[in-house]
Amino acid sequence: MQDLNLSKFHSFFIYNSTFSKSEETETDKIIFYYPETTTLKEQLQNVGLIEALTAYSLSFSNKKCNSLHLEKNRYVFFEPEKDYWLVLIISNPFTYKMKGNEKIQKFKFNLLSDQTLLQILKNSYRIFYMFYQTFNDLVQKNSVLYLKSILAQFFPFYLSNIDFSYSSIENTVWTALDGIQFCSVHKNLYLRIKCLMNQVKSNFPYVKNSMLLFEKNLVWSSFETEETRNLYHFMCSQVLGQYKSTKSKEFGKEKPTVKLENKESTVFSYQNLILGIQNLVADIKEEHFLTGATLIENKVVIKIPTIFVSESNTQKYQLIIYKSRNLFLLLFLENEAPNLNEISFYQKLSTLIRKEMQSICELLNNGQDEDEKIDQVFNYIYFNSINLSVKQCLNEKRNFSLTDVIPQLVAVSDELLRKKSQIPDEIDNPKTQYLRFIIEREIPFEIISQSKKSVWIVGKKTSNHVFFLIFDQKNVNLNSIEEEMEKFSSALFKDYFFD
Amino acid sequence: MEKEIHVKLESPIIFDPNEYQWFKFDEILQQIILLKNKTLKCIGYLFEKNEAIKLSQININDYIQEISISPNRKYLAIVRNNNTEFELFLRKGKLKTKEAKKTLTYKSKFANKNNFTILSIKWLDNLQLLLITNYTLEHLFIEEDKKNIKRINIFKHSQIHGASYSFENKLILLSTELNGKQIRGYQFRPTQVVKLPKIELKYPIFEETKKVNNERAHREMKKRIRKRIGIVNKSLLLIRLYNNLYCAQLVQSGLENNFLLLYKITKEEITKPFLEIPALQSNFAISVVDNLLLLHDLESQRTMFYDIRDDTVKPESIIFPLSIKPITLSLEKAFFLDKNHKLNENLNENLNENENLDENENLDENENLNENEIEDENQNQNQNQIGIGNENENENENENELKKKLFLLHKKAWAHFLPNYILDPFTGFISFYDIDLNTVASCIRDKFHRIKFLFQRADSKFVLLKFLKISIEENEKLEILSYCFDIINHIRNLAGKAQVKDKSPNKPNKQKKKKKGKKKENQNQNKKNPFLLDLTPKFKRTHSSLQLNQDLENNGKGNQMHSSLELSKETPKKKQYGDIETEFIILNFEENQEKTEEDQKEKEDQKENNKNEMEIANERLKNILQFPQKSAQGYIVLHQEDLYKHVFLEVQENQLIEDRYLISVLTEYIRSLNFYHIPIQHFLFSMIIELLVKNNKFSQLYQFVQFHIIDDSNYVAYQLAALDKKYPPALYIAIDMLKRNNDFESIIQLLISRNMVIQALRFIEKTPNIILNDPIIESILETTLVMNDPIKMFSIIQYFKIYILKYEKFKKYLDHFERIFGISLKN
């Protein structure tokens, strides 16, 4: 597979069919199209294709279809708000094959996962919502033109930060699972953190919520699960997207500082915000604010972004991020809290948390190397659907290469996660009562697959857990895989009920 | 009288001084001894029994100089006036016998010396006593079988002016030499007598002490207050504060230059004065209440508090020289000895004086109190006191006219006895000082100091809990609460360790059990005297390993008894006297509870058998005898139950604060408990779960379980399982928890109850330890039937086919199956 050309971003667009009343105004329905260089004709063709497909699929199911597999490209589409469709087109990975003297592209059209790509779409909408709320709101409050300008500002930057190459677990299964990586913390430390958060809240009553990340691991969140996931995703993919662990040597040197455009502009720019934070994150200084009172070129600048944490929570928050080495504290303040523009507020806050944050950070850095025994024996990815915890344990001495495994893993996960969304549909259909029984009986689902390179992957889904187990033993049969599975589940689920 | 009360006098024993020929306060047994027509009346705080002993061999005309009763009240040592010998009276037969007969007489070898006088007689234990004369200190032993008094030791001095004795430390200090400036200390240990190096006092002993011992002055005094003896304030006293023993010298010239000097006494020596408390306007007296030193300035009518914690004097240790309001004498628990004695007439003067005092505002000059804070509490206090009815109605009709509280002022004539007694020879009452912790603690503004202060008080438990509750309800800063919880749990942790030490299977443990058994035995023997501890056998047998002491000086009201356990095998280290008793004071709360339960039963019995007023009064006295639970270090131990019941639950019920804040407070407490490795009780978890669910903080709840903050317990699991309608994952959290607790049956029941029969069956199949039994099968089948799901029913009944066909009791499922599906299961 050396000469496999990885999947690539093809295009992304947003349309709303209701914006076009007649054929003359057909182009009005395209609200955003990227890359902008695409011809209008192609734009209209693609929009038309999706419009037709979604309408047509409704005659088979009450659920609109959400993907289209073609030889060269994969289409995924998602309707976050009524009539607003987000469409992503990805070109399939391919290899070159010689046919006589001719070099022809041979596309691998089953290597991409709908679940992952859909999740990418959902995530993009989620982040957009955090800063701008719904498309409809923008149209209602302003105009379609305004919406277009916002989208044109937001998406090109956002999309440029996404890796569509499908080359790592993070980009594939991980994204599809859409989970949170928790930091394993001893209960005493956890309580200490919790109490520090409480103290911050009681000292600054305007602080309504808080969240603490240790690198890309969640330590603490006062939000409910769904909101935590959104914020976690925002932090990991956007703020800490380029962030490398302190353990990597290049830390702090890697990224040259990006000059921000329109620094003085009063209009909120997502790009400026994220680039600004990323610059500060890369700064090796031990403790400082990333948003709030920040020191830019020896000048204190107070800038606080306003965000909405989830669609179900209409509360508007002002976000202050404080960094202490590789520990990130997010404080969510009630909108329009007073004193936020005074430096004294940040000084007071910093005095309260500084020492404790340092000490917590120290403890977390020291306690990171402890790994559970089971982790070294098995290679697995685990997801808990209650707290959305996701965990990846891949043995460093493994005999397989990840690039070999990923396509297989993607296939297994795609199949397994697809089931999740299908069950409710079936249940409503009286004709498939029997099937329903089978499905219920069949929970947990289990998929066992073997690749050409003799890597076995077991995917299993129970009511609350999903895991993928990778075995690299050669010349084993299904029975011994079954035995290994038993060993694994009794080790991992020793303390948990596992149906 | 809307003045805050800091010091009060409790449970007075009131008598008519004119009725008696002689009376004195017995510091060891904490009782007053009154002599009237050959009969001794002894009424004490320590022993509830009010007894009368008839001394048939005493001549009415004899003047009695000294009466000293042995700790077990078997012997009475009596010195008649101008006599050079003492007589030992034995109470014959059982303790109940009311007659004592003279059995032995002891005359010192030096009795023929010029001016030989017996100064006093002190009991070391039930059979050993010390005779202090103006030339010698003699250590005597009563040989009961030989009917002889044997002299063990004699220490001669050129002149002895006076003695201070501590019964619990078996330590005596003699002021010797010409001016009494030289102090000699002797400690009587089980096997040896330790002489402490002599020390010269910085100032001579106050003149009056000498006068007491001077025969002429003695006679003069007798004329003045007739035949009463032993009521002159001493100027050299042994006091114990926390674990340290001090020699306190009251230097009072009667002029302005009065002060108190404290010499610390260690095992080896009496140190140089380390603390000088000056600036007293006039003569003064001291008391020790609850390890606090109280200085009563007799002229200005003020009392000052000193909290001397450590060897070093820190600025905060002299916490607050407070000016004090008139002292209240609470008559609720008063015990009237002489029915016709009219106390109120004598006290009227006091009331008048008091009114004058109210106008005298300069008393407040030293004050730094938060008036408002105290007022409320104080009003409550007053209401409480007035609210309680006076049960002594029948005793004396005049009493009804008396107020329940009297406001008194210090009187110069009052005699102070350590630790905190006063005797008023004119009015005729004896009482003890108590401090009102509520108001005193309110005076300490610094919250940290206040908490520290309260932790070391004897019965501050509820005051502490109250302060905590108020703090929480006032939205106190979490940092401060965090600190409080840390102190609470630190002490709790130490107490826990001490108890483990206590329970370790070594020798003292056995001894302790023995002791406990013995105690019960004694109680059975003396049903009407549950508090009477027979000291004799133990003192005789076990000098080394176990001593059952009456902790006379220790703590508060001075009427609390502590059982102390001394470990003999403890590695020798530099100890102070106080250590001997306090280091191992471990009060097992359960034991105490047991005891009080027993007491209550006995009380009831008593009531039925012999219900007279005296008994009722005695019971009331007994009620004061409550054991504070303290750690080995002498701090109040607060348990989770206490905080839960008296703080968190009340706060929750009052609903003055937001739930969010209460959750934070609870989390702080749980953090602190975890930090000190104290296992957390499930009710705290229940409360926090309840609060989290009420506020829809499900994610936090899950995190608490995830990070093992909420420990696994079936109790919590059931609570969580009940939440599944509000928060569906709670069911799985509960099941996980049950699995960790290996409670598989509950898991199956839970699954079945949620109609998850298939999951239940799968679980049964997968878990090797579970055997399918009839009740499980029946409940699964029953649930399937109720669910009315034909497909599930079909599969389940098929699954259990063998059982259903085999047993008659499952026949109804068979019938049901055939009726629904129209086919026979047998095929």
SS (H, E, C) A206-260: CEEEEEEEECCEEEEECCCHHHHHHHHHHHHHHHCCCCCCCCCCCCCCCCCCCCC
Q: What is the mean pLDDT of residues A396-404?
A: 73
Q: What is the mean pLDDT of residues B403-420?
A: 65
Is 60 exceeded by the pLDDT of residue A483?
Answer: yes
Q: What are phi and psi of A307, to 5 degrees?
A: -135, 160
Is 90 exceeded by the pLDDT of residue B220?
Answer: no
Q: What is the pLDDT of residue B740?
A: 87
Q: Do A441 and B729 touch (CB under 8 A)?
A: no
Give the contacts of B815 (CB within 8 A, at least 6 positions apart): none
Determine contact, residues B684/B669, Cβ cutoff 8 Å: yes
Q: What is the pLDDT of residue B483?
A: 83
pLDDT-based confidence at A442, cuts 50/70/90?
Answer: very low
Compute the mean pLDDT over every residue in chain A, rounded to the nearest whole number. Answer: 80
Compute the mean pLDDT over every residue in chain B, rounded to the nearest whole number. Answer: 66
Q: Do B671 and A223 touch (CB under 8 A)?
A: no
Q: What is the pLDDT of residue B338?
A: 62
Q: What is the pLDDT of residue A21?
A: 84
User: What is the β-pairing status of strands B327-330 and B7-14?
Assistant: parallel
- What would the pLDDT profile of B699-710 be if each residue is shown by its tens digit? 888 888 888 888
Task: Enumerate the residues of chain A whose CB falls inside 8 A of the CB of residue B729.
Answer: 386, 464
Is 50 exceeded by the pLDDT of residue B575?
Answer: no
DSSP letters spanning A445-474: EEEEEE-TT--EEEEEE-SSEEEEEEE--S
B115-124 as b/e: b if 16+ CB within 10 A: eebbbbbbbb
Lowest-confidence region among A140-154, A214-228, A437-451 = A437-451
Q: Do A387 and B703 touch (CB under 8 A)?
A: yes
Measured distance CA(A127)–CA(A118) in Å, rounded: 14
Q: How many CA atoms lie within 13 A of B460 on its CB side?
A: 30
Task: Enumerate the residues of chain A whose CB falls inside 8 A of the CB of residue B791.
Answer: 433-434, 436-437
Is 60 exceeded by the pLDDT of residue B503?
Answer: no
Q: How far is CA A282 from the centre of its chain?
A: 21
Give the contacts of A285 (CB within 8 A, at least 6 positions apart): none
Q: How far is CA B807 from the centre of its chain?
A: 66
Instruction: List all residues of chain A from 368 to 407 with a beta carbon under 8 Å from chain B.
Output: 386-387, 389
The strand pairing partners of B287, in sequence order, are B294
Q: What is the pLDDT of residue A443?
A: 58
DSSP letters spanning B268-335: S-EEEEEEEEEEE-S-EEEEEETTEEEEEETTTTEEEEE---SSS--TTTS-B----PPEEEE-TT-E
Is 60 exceeded by the pLDDT of residue B508?
Answer: no
More confident site: B59 or B612: B59
Closest CA to A196 of A380, A366, A35, A352: A352
Task: Enumerate the residues of chain A whose CB falls inside 8 A of the CB of residue B703.
Answer: 190, 220-221, 387
The answer to whether B363 contacts chain A (CB < 8 Å) is: no
Give the minimum alpha-carbon distance from B762 to chain A in angstroms, rounded to a whole number: 7
Q: Do A437 and B792 touch (CB under 8 A)?
A: yes
- What would the pLDDT profile of A359-395 be if each residue is shown by its tens digit? 998 888 887 655 555 566 788 888 887 788 888 887 7
Measured distance CA(A439)–CA(B802) in Å, rounded: 26
Q: Do A441 and B758 touch (CB under 8 A)?
A: yes
End-to-end Cα, chain B, rounded Å: 97
Q: Do A187 and B729 touch (CB under 8 A)?
A: no
- Percentage with pLDDT > 70 across chain A: 87
More confident site: B310 or B612: B310
Task: Enumerate the residues of chain B whose CB falls inside 8 A of the CB of residue A198.
Answer: 478, 664, 667-668
Q: How many CB atoms lie within 10 A of CB A424?
A: 9
Lowest-confidence region among A334-343, B95-104, B518-527, B774-783 = B518-527
Q: Which residue has the tokens 């060897």?
A: B311
Measured distance CA(B172)–CA(B695) in Å, rounded: 66
Task: Enumerate the residues of chain B whose CB falls inside 8 A of the CB of residue A382.
Answer: none
Is 70 exceeded by the pLDDT of residue B389?
Answer: no
Most confident of A28-37, A266-275, B380-389, B436-445: A28-37
- What would the pLDDT profile of B653-674 be if each residue is shown by its tens digit? 888 888 888 999 999 999 999 8
More confident site: A450 or A194: A194
Q: What is the pLDDT of residue B121?
A: 85
Q: Do A221 and B795 touch (CB under 8 A)?
A: no
Is 70 exceeded by the pLDDT of residue A13?
Answer: yes
The answer to whether A294 contacts chain B (CB < 8 Å) is: no
The answer to whether B792 contacts chain A (CB < 8 Å) is: yes
Question: What is the value of ipTM here, to two decimals?
Answer: 0.83
Written as six digits, the tokens of B25 are 């306060």
The answer to whether B758 contacts chain A (CB < 8 Å) is: yes
Q: What are the extents of the domains in chain B?
A: 486-624, 642-821
Q: What is the pLDDT of residue B275?
A: 67
Q: What is the pLDDT of residue A47?
A: 92
Task: Enumerate the residues of chain B whose CB falls inside 8 A of the CB of residue A221.
Answer: 699, 703
Lowest-confidence region among A23-27, A320-324, B400-404 = B400-404
Instruction: Give the CA distances from residue B504 to residues A126, B198, B510, B775, in Å, rounded to whole numbers and listed in that order.
Output: 62, 41, 10, 45
Q: How many CB atoms lie within 10 A of CB B651?
A: 21
Q: What is the mean pLDDT of residues A463-475?
A: 80
Q: Do B478 and A202 touch (CB under 8 A)?
A: yes
Q: What is the pLDDT of residue B553?
A: 30
Q: What is the pLDDT of residue A12?
A: 93
The answer to whether A351 contacts chain B (CB < 8 Å) is: no
Q: What is the mean pLDDT of residues B139-143?
A: 86
| Pick from B700, B736, B758: CB nearest A497 | B736
Give the minimum alpha-carbon distance from A236 to chain B in angstroms, rounded to a whole number: 20
Q: What is the pLDDT of residue B413?
A: 66
Written as six digits, the tokens of A238 are 């956007």
Is 70 exceeded by the pLDDT of residue A143?
Answer: yes
- What would the pLDDT profile of A173-210 be if each residue is shown by its tens digit? 888 888 898 888 888 899 999 989 998 988 888 898 99
- Percentage with pLDDT > 90 across chain A: 15
pTM of the model: 0.71
pLDDT-based confidence at A444, cuts 50/70/90?
Answer: low
Q: What is the pLDDT of residue B92?
A: 67
Is 60 exceeded by the pLDDT of residue B376?
Answer: no
DSSP letters spanning B107-118: E-TTTTSTT--E
Lowest-confidence region among A478-492, B108-122, B605-619 = B605-619
Q: What is the mean pLDDT of residues B799-814?
A: 81
More confident site: A468 or B395: A468
Q: Is the peptide bond before A256 cis (omega within 30 degrees of 0)?
A: no
Q: What is the pLDDT of residue B514?
A: 37
Q: What is the mean pLDDT of residues B353-366?
A: 36
Is 90 exceeded by the pLDDT of residue A212?
Answer: yes
Most confident of A51-55, A493-497, B22-26: A51-55
pLDDT-based confidence at B758, cuts 50/70/90?
Answer: confident
Determine contact, residues B712/B741, Cβ cutoff 8 Å: yes
Measured distance CA(B776)–CA(B751) in Å, rounded: 11
Lowest-confidence region among A109-123, B301-315, B372-386, B729-743 = B372-386
- What would the pLDDT profile of A320-341 be if each residue is shown by its tens digit? 999 988 899 999 998 777 878 8
DSSP H helices in B698-788: 698-706, 714-721, 729-740, 744-753, 757-766, 774-787
More confident site: B170 or A396: B170
Q: Do B707 and A187 touch (CB under 8 A)?
A: yes
Give the contacts of B413 (CB within 8 A, at least 6 positions apart): B424, B425, B426
Measured distance CA(A254)–CA(A243) in Å, rounded: 9
Closest CA to A290 of A245, A238, A224, A254: A238
Written as one letter, the residue type at A2 is Q
Q: What is the pLDDT of residue B37?
A: 72
Q: What is the pLDDT of residue B594?
A: 36
| Pick from A188, A198, A499: CB nearest B759 | A499
Measured distance CA(B102)–CA(B59) in Å, rounded: 12
The answer to whether B96 contacts chain A (CB < 8 Å) is: no
- What would the pLDDT profile of B310-346 be if each residue is shown by its tens digit? 554 444 444 444 444 555 565 555 566 665 555 555 5
- What would the pLDDT profile of B235-244 be if each residue is shown by its tens digit? 778 887 777 7
Task: Enumerate the residues of chain B whose CB falls inside 8 A of the CB of residue A188.
Answer: 671, 674-675
pLDDT-based confidence at B106, cuts 50/70/90?
Answer: confident
